[in-house]
Structure 1
Amino acid sequence: MNRKPLLTLTFFLLAFAACNPKKTADVKRPKLVVGIVVDQMRWDYLYRYSAHYGEGGLKRLLKEGFSCDNTMINYLPAFTAVGHACIFTGSVPAFTGIAANDWVEQSTGQRMYCTDDSTVKSIGAEDPESKEGKMSPRNMLVSTVTDELMLASNFRSKVVGVSIKDRAAILPAGHSATAAFWLDDSTGHFITSNYYMTQLPSWVDGFNKQEPVKAYVKNKWTTLYPKSTYGESDTDDQPYEGKFKGDSTTAFPHNLDSSYKIAKSSFRYTPFGNTLTLDFAKAAVEGYQLGQGDVTDFLTINCASTDYVGHQFGINSIEEEDTYLRFDRDLAAFLTFLDEKLGKDGYTLFLTADHGAAHAVWFSQNHDIPADYFLPAQLTDSLNAILGHDFQTPNLVDTISNYQVTFAMKTIRAKKLDFSAIKKVAVDWLRRQPGITYAIDMSNIGEGPVAEPVRSMVINGYYYKRSGAIQLIPNAGWFEGRGKTGTSHGTWNPYDTHIPLIFMGWGIHSGHTEDPVKMTDIAPTVAALLHIQMPNGCVGKPITQVLKK
């Protein structure tokens, strides 16, 4: 028998196999990746309320997962849209273009919301032209790890984003998502836009028909446990707490029904917005059969009510503590749901935050800790008066927002004014104002004595076409104020930029690290886990301690 042809064929097949990569199906990946971003969650909340946490929520993540205990945001400003874009792109505003929640287009002076898209229509809203649904990810200039998963699977994966906030559903899900859903306050229903689909899936219609928001607001918001046990919070009804519309006091219990009748958005300022979000996420897993196919799917979830509650009541309120205790319970139920649907080793989950928050100004001052507001509107008026006198032109400052100064560039160009001279006068005056540590001319940041890490964070956050020409760095404890209650965020300080980051599930070690980690490292870590390319604007690097070898 002549074996030469057989041997030749054998060698050819072996060589072919060696030169060809494995099929996508041969690469080991989890059935589903779940990315949960808890809005305004400071890192210390993992431990601050832990005496009341159950065993199945945050404590389970810390026990079974891998916690990166020194994860920091590495850009400014520390806002919601910017954080969600960074987490899922591994990039910073200088590349993503998502420079704030909203901004001024520097070339035209036009106000722009981060996910505004006039070319699309609302799907699920009562009016297709409703602005609540005219949203898409088109203002984001780079890809997300969810986009890269779609590319790696030849668009066979399913990617779904869920939040009551539009921007927090849209940006994480990326440009090529299967769907993103967010809440329309006017109806209490989840909606989307025709960027994704022409009509809501039947399972979304079915969820909306249950009218869950109306069911939640029928009851008063009372504490989950006896109020006297909330030892990590201030006493109730403090001067720094905001009121629900229609309420005469900031104290528990809160009559949600009457507040909702006055302002539909009041539902967001309750812990039940998180409950609703996770219930809808469960419905999305069922409706799209996420994790049931032969390729990896991805579900992004933003629990946003933690942010709304913090803004209204402040981080030392009983309302804040109760919101996290209820979130912990909802998270435990969601993890149990995933266990039952996919098995404990069938999914990989990470939990992080888009930013933190400062203590309320009144609370800090009451405890002799330096803090105060600087008021953008007052600063704008005063600076315009200075510049108007020096340059004989009114309203040279368009706005002060996002801790940045935006100038009226059309006027400056039309009158052929010396912009460098205008900025110099502005910077010199702003530096002398109470509560301002730095006023930085972004075109000359290399010439100024700006300390690290602020210097790098400012540069990372600056996108020329959408960022103001002067960056303001307030004193620690100071933040932009629009009222005298609640809290805010956006600054470089650790209370705004030290965030939780925990991975758990398939492919993940249990343990923790104190090594410095950046928010930009999250997306490349997920990409490494999935053996896919990093997002195309990624500047982070994988956190190798997290991943099983």
Structure 2
Amino acid sequence: MRIVRSGLLGISMAALVACASDPGPAPRPVAAAPVQPMGKPDLLVVISVDQLSSDLFEAYAPHMSGGLARLAQGTAFLNGFQAQAATETCPGHSTILTGSHPARTGIVANDWYDPDAARENKEIYCAEDATLSDGNPYTVSAEHLLVPTLGERMKADDPRSRNVAVAGKDRSAVMMAGRDVDQRWYWGGEDFVTDTGAAPSATVAKINEATRALVARGIPALELPAHCADWDRAYTVGTRGTVVGTGRLEIAPGDASNFRRHPAYDGAALALAAGLIGEMQLGRGEAPDILSIGLAATDYVGHAYGNRGAEMCLQMAGLDRSLGDFLTRLDDSDLDYAVVLTADHGVLDVPPRLRAMGQEDASYVNMPEEFVARLEALKAQFEVERPVAYGGASGDQYLDPATYSTHGEAFRAAVMDLYRAHPQVAHVYTVEQIMAQPIPGGDPARWSMLQRVRASTHPDRSGDFYVMLKDQVMPIVNPGGTYTATHGSAHDYDRRVPILFWRKGMTSIARPDSAMTVDIMPTLAAMIGLDVDANAIDGKCLGGVPGADC
């Protein structure tokens, strides 16, 4: 191993980083624990791996031997779903611990357009306080989340419960923990920072110091495990000459940006989470505690390189080992803890690699000159400066409000017809069509496309119409650099995510039936005996999960 293990706050961040830097076999074999009676856990640990689709998890599962392998030996729903069409970081995280779809949480996207915002910049970031900032820079806040999280419900039921979050992204930490938090830390670019006003504790200060030193020192290119060799093939993406598929995830000394695209990024977050467990004595009070952890490196690696190259193979190996080290530390603490691992969304791999694998329809979205020219013609015809105030190639489209007062529905109809004529567009829905649908229930795998969009749509925040691209069309107009693959569609490669429940003594059960991320909160609530009004959420307690009395 390239990095020497050394003690740090009861858990070694250096050890976690060493695991991420050496994707060999995990130090402990995974063994099935004997079945034991299940009481109420003292600590709930909820982990979201950003961009971990079920497709990705299943592709690498045979090579896992650390934390991911252990968690898969609990109750594993591989047909889990972020059921809604808005498969982005913020909406996805908003479903995990609220039990509600974005239509109820109000988190319809990472960003949306609010013409009534009391500032010049009308674009609203999901995790900002729009009353305190103009959007650049923004002030982090949970004000836009319209429903309580499990941690908030726990504290309302018993103020002795602690609600703590650690994440690589601010929006992940905010959406999983909500408003009433004891501590919340997320990566701010150079350090882990908080929006709570709290000064860094000894744990946070030491993790920050160690992380800064790690970035300053850098990490050499990782060695590729044998099982990654089949994915070690180069593909050129876009017109800028970006090559993906053969990278080794090194961090040049001082390169804080590339730190996000490395397994060490997750190692630092897990080290901070473990340090706070010890420092705050989580799980040792008179009421259950909850710790939310958002791991973001998989998302940054996926966006930069796609999810089937050597880079992602290295990331998955590092994540598996880092999670194993984290769980081993929890074992050593002798805490009675329960873990859930899931994801906020999946991703579509880079089209050149998909086409090489036989998926001939895979492509980037194209906005040809003819399409742009017709938009310009509509601008002239309707005498408006901008035909679309905020939107893009797909998803919610927001029209300039002044246009309605001048031209009524004619302008929207003309723009929608233009999108419908685009050869890569599958569906265009008005907000009225969407809202006429009830919030869907039942098996999310069977939902229509319109139902998926309905689960994402909030009447006060969603657009005037919605554009859905065809299957296998990537909504990136100019791919390249560190943005070669993305998500956000209503298709199952973006919706389908693993949902893994693990607790010591669980029997391994692979569940083929569908589940939703909105089902996680009521299942955990049942595990700790917390009553939740079923009419106030969209999810349900998942029967058959040991310890959850549904």
Matched, 1:45 2:56: yes
Code of the aligned partner of 1:477: Q
Q: How does 1:361-372 map to 2 (within 5 A)?
A: 361-369=351-359, 370-372=361-363
Cα 1:213–1:378 change in 2 (3 A) is farther
The residue aligned with 1:111 is 123
Shift of 1:252: 4.0
Shift of 1:526: 1.0
Normalised TM-score (structure 2): 0.83
The residue aligned with 1:280 is 272
List per-residue Cα deviations over 1:63-83 (Å, max 9, x = no partner).
Answer: 2x1011221122121001101
The residue aligned with 2:417 is 428
Matched, 1:181 2:185: yes
Residue identity (%):
26
Code of the aligned partner of 1:466: R
Shift of 1:352: 0.5
The residue aligned with 1:8 is none
Matched, 1:87 2:92: no
Q: How does 1:33-432 map to 2 (within 5 A)?
A: 33-54=44-65, 56-63=66-73, 65-108=74-117, 110-117=122-129, 134-153=139-158, 155-185=159-189, 188-193=190-195, 196-210=196-210, 212-216=211-215, 218-226=217-225, 228-235=226-233, 237-240=234-237, 251-253=246-248, 255-257=250-252, 260-261=254-255, 264-343=256-335, 346-369=336-359, 370-375=361-366, 381-382=372-373, 384-401=375-392, 403-413=394-404, 415-418=405-408, 420-432=409-421
- Contact 2:110 2:125 (C-alpha < 8 Å) held by counterparts: yes
CA distance in structure 2 between the aligned counterparts of 1:386 and 1:368, rounded to whole angstroms: 39
- Contact 1:115 1:138 (C-alpha < 8 Å) held by counterparts: yes
Question: Considering only aligned residues, what root-mean-square deviation do their CA atoms show, in Å?
Answer: 3.0
SS in 2 for 1:290: coil
- Contact 1:49 1:232 (C-alpha < 8 Å) held by counterparts: no
- Contact 1:291 1:342 (C-alpha < 8 Å) held by counterparts: no
Cα 1:541–1:364 change in 2 (3 A) is same
SS in 2 for 1:70: strand
Shift of 1:198: 3.9
Code of the aligned partner of 1:439: V
Total equivalences in the alignment:
495
- Contact 1:149 1:157 (C-alpha < 8 Å) held by counterparts: yes
Shift of 1:367: 3.6
Shift of 1:506: 5.9
Shift of 1:253: 4.4
CA distance in structure 2 between the aligned counterparts of 1:312 and 1:325, rounded to whole angstroms: 18
CA distance in structure 1 between the aligned counterparts of 2:47 and 2:300, rounded to whole angstroms: 17
Normalised TM-score (structure 1): 0.83
SS in 2 for 1:524: helix
Where does the alignment leave 5 or more consecutive residues of structure 2 unmatched?
1-37, 438-445
List per-residue Cα deviations over 1:202-247 (Å, max 9, x = no partner).
Answer: 321232233x144146344433444x54145242x42139999xx9
CA distance in structure 2 between the aligned counterparts of 1:112 and 1:233, rounded to whole angstroms: 39
SS in 1 for 2:252: helix
CA distance in structure 2 between the aligned counterparts of 1:293 and 1:313, rounded to whole angstroms: 44
Shift of 1:446: 7.5
- Which stretch shifts more, 87-96 or 484-493? 484-493
Code of the aligned partner of 1:526: L
The residue aligned with 2:520 is 522
Match of 1:481 among 444, 458, 476: 476
The residue aligned with 2:450 is 455
SS in 1 for 2:407: coil
Code of the aligned partner of 1:399: Y
CA distance in structure 1 between the aligned counterparts of 2:511 and 2:227, rounded to whole angstroms: 32
Shift of 1:250: 7.3
- Contact 1:240 1:363 (C-alpha < 8 Å) held by counterparts: no
CA distance in structure 2 between the aligned counterparts of 1:146 and 1:277, rounded to whole angstroms: 19
Cα 1:421–1:156 change in 2 (3 A) is same
List per-residue Cα deviations over 1:321-377 (Å, max 9, x = no partner).
Answer: 10000100001101101111134xx00100001111112111123344211222579
Cα 1:266–1:149 change in 2 (3 A) is same
Q: How does 1:498-537 map to 2 (within 5 A)?
A: 498-505=496-503, 510-534=508-532, 537=536
- Contact 2:244 2:305 (C-alpha < 8 Å) held by counterparts: no
Larger radius of gyration, structure 1 or 2? Answer: 1
The residue aligned with 1:540 is 539
CA distance in structure 2 between the aligned counterparts of 1:47 and 1:437, rounded to whole angstroms: 28
Code of the aligned partner of 1:348: A
List per-residue Cα deviations over 1:42-97 (Å, max 9, x = no partner).
Answer: 1133332234322x32221222x101122112212100110110111111111111
Cα 1:158–1:378 change in 2 (3 A) is farther
CA distance in structure 1 between the aligned counterparts of 2:229 and 2:390, rounded to whole angstroms: 42
SS in 2 for 1:81: helix
Where does the alignment leave 5 or more consecutive residues of structure 1 unmatched?
1-26, 122-128
- Contact 2:96 2:521 (C-alpha < 8 Å) held by counterparts: yes
CA distance in structure 2 between the aligned counterparts of 1:270 and 1:483, rounded to whole angstroms: 24
